[in-house]
Every structure is written in C-alpha cells, then in structure tokens.
Amino acid sequence: MNPADGTLLSVQNLEVCYGAVQVLWGISLSVMRGQVVAIIGSNGAGKSTTLNAIAGVLKAKSGRILLNNQDLTQQPPRERVRRRISLVPEERQLWPKMSVEENLLMGAFPPKIRKDARRNLSRVYEMFPRLKERHSQLAGTLSGGEQQMCAIVRGLMAEPELLMLDEPTLGLAPKAVDEIFEFIARIKDQGVTILLVSQNVNYALQSSQYAYLMETGRITLEGAYESLLSNPYIQEAYLGS
C-alpha cells in the first residue's frame, strides 16, 4: 500500500510467538490517516499482542509492518517512536510518585521532540485543562479516569502520527468510560490517527470509522463500524442482543 492512498499503517500477514507458542496467525490490517480504527474481541484474543508487535516490544516471527510505506518490521522500539508511533499500554504504567507534569514530560522521549517539550506541554494543557489543574499532583493520587487521561496525554507528548491505545477504559466506572471516549474523539479531531484496542465493543465501534474483530489470534471479521454494529454475530456474541 502507498501513503498516497491515505494508508498510514499497513500490517501484512503478521505472525508472533511467545517462545514456542504461536499467538498471532497471519494478521493483516490497515489504518487510514486521520481515522480511529478499532480492534475488538474478547480477552486473550491477541489484540494487545498485535499492538506490542507494531510498537516493536514483541518481535515478529514473519510478516511486515509498514508506516508511511517504510518497513519497520526489524526496527527496535526506539526507532518506531522516532518514526512517531506511540503506544499507551494497558494499565497505564504511570510513575505514581511523580507529578502529573513529570509523567507528561517523560513522554517527550525522542531527542528531536525533547527540545520542544515545554511547548508541547502548553499545547496539551490547552487541550485538556483538567490535567493542567492537576499538574503538581502525584499521578498515583489521581482517579482512575484521570490516570488514564494522563497516560494518553503522555503518549501525545511524543507528537505521534499513530497513537495506539490498549484497553483505555479497562476497570473504569461508566462515567469515566464516557469521558475517555470523549477524550479520544477530541484527540482524533486534532488530526491524530488512532489504533484502539478494546473489549468494550459497543463504545469502540461507535468511536471508530473501521474495525477488526480478532478471535484466537486471527482476524475473523472486518468492516466499517456500521456493518459490524449490525452484524448478527457481533450482536449476539459481543453486544448481548
């Protein structure tokens, strides 16, 4: 695929193993620039493994990972960050005894971005004033939803072209879930492309333009969000209707 057709990320026939155990089987997906694309499915389906492989945390057994038509498959994680891929991991992984602002500044890791960290900090504070209000508060004392917001904004500090969110609403109360998905919509409106992994199928589909269903390490369905929302199998197996 070519960036000229709007494709930012192309994953082609990706296979990944944990030791001798294969967990991804020929995964292929595309993420169009400016969209929210969701990977949905139950726990253990391979969704997080897919994000970790794209980020370079896990090594691909075979297949290709292309960003802007540049092959990143053999590149280390730091190079993928430099190419403006940012992963917000499951369970946030903040530094709880550091302030909100210190956590955010840790997101400005690439050297080219580090010099602009304060400017980027001002920009994200304008977008998300609640974090500015909490800037001196220890991250570990924030509510669950606020911690997730902090983790997502830390990912934005790397100025990503592709922001990958791994289960951003896991364990949150319903009100906080609403806020996080509103937060995701605001980030998308700023022009950031998002690849979202979620077990919260209803919210994920309504927040995305395109989605993939993953089951036991394989993509089993894909399509525009409307087609998946109306799919009888999705409705019965994942939406309880």
- Whether 38 has a pLDDT exceeding 90, the answer reads yes
3-state secondary structure 53-69: HHHCCCCEEEEEEEECC
Q: Please report, rounded to a whole number, the percentage of residues in the chain having pLDDT higher than 70.
A: 97
- With a CB cutoff of 8 Å and minimum separation 6, the contacts of 162 are 8, 9, 31, 67, 84, 85, 86, 193, 194, 195
Instruction: Identify any residues that bridge with 164 across adjacent strands, giving them in sequence order.
Output: 87, 195
Question: Which CA distances in Å does 153 have to 26, 66, 82, 107?
Answer: 32, 25, 17, 8
Report the topology of domain 3-237: Rossmann fold (3.40.50)
Give the pLDDT confidence score for residue 107 in this predicted structure: 85
DSSP 8-state code for residue 159: -
- Whether 110 has a pLDDT exceeding 50, the answer reads yes
Instruction: Work out the widest C-alpha separation in the chain, in whole angstroms.
Output: 51
Q: Are 203 and 177 in contact (CB under 8 A)?
A: yes
- With a CB cutoff of 8 Å and minimum separation 6, the contacts of 150 are 92, 94, 100, 103, 104, 131, 134, 139, 142
Q: What is the pLDDT of residues 130-148, one digit of tens each?
A: 889 999 999 999 999 899 9
Q: What is the pLDDT of residues 188-236, one digit of tens each?
A: 998 999 999 998 999 999 999 999 999 999 999 999 999 999 999 999 9
- How confident is residue 115, by pLDDT bands cut at 50, 70 and 90? confident
Give the pLDDT confidence score for residue 1 in this predicted structure: 42
- Whether 57 has a pLDDT exceeding 80, the answer reads yes
pTM: 0.92
